[in-house]
Amino acid sequence: MTPVYFSFTSAFTLGLTGLAFHRTHLMSALLCLEGMMLSLFMALALWMLQLETTAFSAAPILLLAFSACEASAGLALLVATARTHGTDQLQALSLLQC
């Protein structure tokens, strides 16, 4: 495995472990998701450069657009949660509470 692939893989796994272990605040979960999406974008862009074809050249831009939509939806949920519950802690978000 080349050092470039190792760095992208380690960045993705660090984001995944951060998402799995640091689940106290919604903002930290959103930041870990953004780190994972950024590492996927960079790996996909590098892969498209290595293929030297124009067939899938729009794939990294499409992934980046979906990542921006995911970030805006996550921030909207963060604001709505902070307004209704008064905190962004994930323990306060329970489906059993009204």
Q: Please give the residue range of the domain that contains residue 31.
A: 3-92
| pLDDT at site 84 | 87
| pLDDT at site 49 | 86
pTM of the model: 0.83
Q: Number of structural domains, the chain?
A: 1
Convert the pLDDT of each residue in 2-12 to its tens digit. Answer: 898 899 999 99
| pLDDT at site 98 | 54
Domain assignment present for 98:
no
d(CA 66, CA 6): 25
d(CA 80, CA 71): 14
Domain assignment present for 85:
yes
Domain assignment present for 97:
no
| Domain CATH for 16 | 1.10.287.3510
